[in-house]
Amino acid sequence: MAPRIPSRPVGSPTRGTTHPNRLRRMDRWIAAVHGPVLRRAADPVAVDLGYGAAPWTAVELLRRLRTAAPRTRVVGIEIDPERVAAARPYAREGLVFRRGGFEVPLPGDTAPLLIRAANVLRQYEEPEVWPVWERLCARLAPADGGPAGGWGRDASGGGLLVEGTCDEIGRRHVWVALGPEGPRTVTFAARLASLDRPSDLAERLPKALIHRNMPGEPVHAFLLDFDRAWAAAAPYASYGARQRWLRTVRDLSGQWPVVDGPERWRQGEVTVRWAALAPTD
């Protein structure tokens, strides 16, 4: 049975700041990692939650996902009715816009295979993030045919929630990927030529982690080790920032549970298991 959808949108409007191509790093990762799940689905539906004052991110999400899964449909959801009205002229085959919030209003019993929430939770307090995550995960298509929700299960597949933060032009981005069972991974992504050291990404940590970048917390220890590996890889800088990053992440993977490989590292990414970086309480 589909969850009951509240009669009024849940959440608060964001600042609405958006720029074309801002979410390219996140989209590229989603298409590569989640593309097989989207391709297998008969009717893959993705949600761009809180797309902002202009619809560019939803338009781009449709284009990028369709390179991986041509049947994908995208629903842009915004809590501000004026933003929804402004976006509707951009609707097309496979792309519609609806008013809503964290309740994720979709027709009938539709359970999305993807919810992308970029730069949405930054304005909330840390304790508010976890209930929102759980609510959004409960709306995802279930993993392996099981019931939606049910945090704590060791599951894979099913729908994916991708929630994170980036800078204004998308050079630096950190996001958490969650399945119906809860958080799975954290991905750090950057335009490497703009990076002085990996810990520069700390200012883009999602709300669930940004205030945990302090001694005694796993994410702080991770970023320290990341910077140490980057410093040790300095001789590779003469071959370019990408080669230095590749060496850095290869060394880092000996200390931390890195779950991807060189194909993703070359894109300026590294993905680590959530459990290794999760807050201590």
Measured in degrees and rounded to the nearest 5, phi and psi for residue 2 equal -70, 145
Q: Could you give the CA distance from residue 183 to residue 218 in angstroms, rounded to a whole number?
A: 15
Secondary structure E strands in 35-181? 45-49, 73-78, 95-99, 114-118, 160-166, 172-179
Is residue 222 within 8 Å of 248, Cβ to Cβ? no
Q: Are residues 60 and 138 in the same domain?
A: yes
Q: Specify the pLDDT at position 1.
A: 44
How many separate domains does the chain show? 2
How does 95-132 read in b/e, with b if 16+ C-beta sit within 10 Å?
Answer: bbbbebbbbbbbeeebbbbbbbbbbbbeeeeeeebeeb
Q: Specify the pLDDT at position 150.
A: 43
**CATH code of 181's domain:** 3.40.50.150
For residue 9, tell me if it sits in a domain. Answer: no
Q: Are residues 186 and 199 in the same domain?
A: no
What stretches of the chain show up as alpha helix (H) in DSSP?
Answer: 24-40, 56-68, 81-87, 126-138, 207-210, 218-232, 241-252, 262-265, 274-277
For residue 264, tell me if it sits in a domain. Answer: yes
Domain that holds residue 116: 24-190
Q: Are residues 105 and 219 in the same domain?
A: no
Q: Which residues are 34's β-sheet partners?
A: none
For residue 234, tell me if it sits in a domain. Answer: yes
Q: Are residues 72 and 115 in the same domain?
A: yes
Q: Are residues 210 and 107 in the same domain?
A: no
Q: Are residues 173 and 234 in the same domain?
A: no
Q: Are residues 203 and 136 in the same domain?
A: no
Q: What is the mean pLDDT of each run of 10 residues along the chain (281 residues)?
A: 61 75 96 96 96 95 97 97 96 97 91 97 93 97 59 62 95 97 97 96 97 97 98 97 98 97 97 97 86
Q: Are residues 30 and 94 in the same domain?
A: yes
Q: Which residues are 187's β-sheet partners?
A: 175, 271
pTM of the predicted model as reported, rounded to 2 decimal places: 0.92
Secondary structure class of 206 (helix, strand, coil): coil
Is residue 212 within 8 Å of 220, Cβ to Cβ? yes
Q: Is 149 exposed, middle or buried (0-12, 13-18, 19+ CB in 10 A)?
A: middle
Q: Could you give the CA distance from residue 201 to residue 173 in angstroms, rounded to a whole number?
A: 7
Domain boundary among 190, 222, 256: 190
> How many residues comprise the chain?
281
Task: Give, in degrees to the nearest 5, the angle at Cα 73 between 145 and 143.
Answer: 15
Q: For residue 249, what are the contacts with CB-CB under 8 A and spacing of at least 6?
A: 229, 258, 265, 270
Structural tokens at position 66: 């369709």
Q: Are residues 51 and 158 in the same domain?
A: yes
Structural tokens at position 255: 């200390």
Instruction: Count other C-beta atoms under 10 Å from residue 232's C-beta.
Output: 13
Q: Could you give the CA distance from residue 146 to residue 265 in angstroms, rounded to a whole number?
A: 33
Q: Which residues are 177's β-sheet partners?
A: 162, 185
Is residue 260 within 8 Å of 271, Cβ to Cβ? yes
Q: Are residues 112 and 97 in the same domain?
A: yes
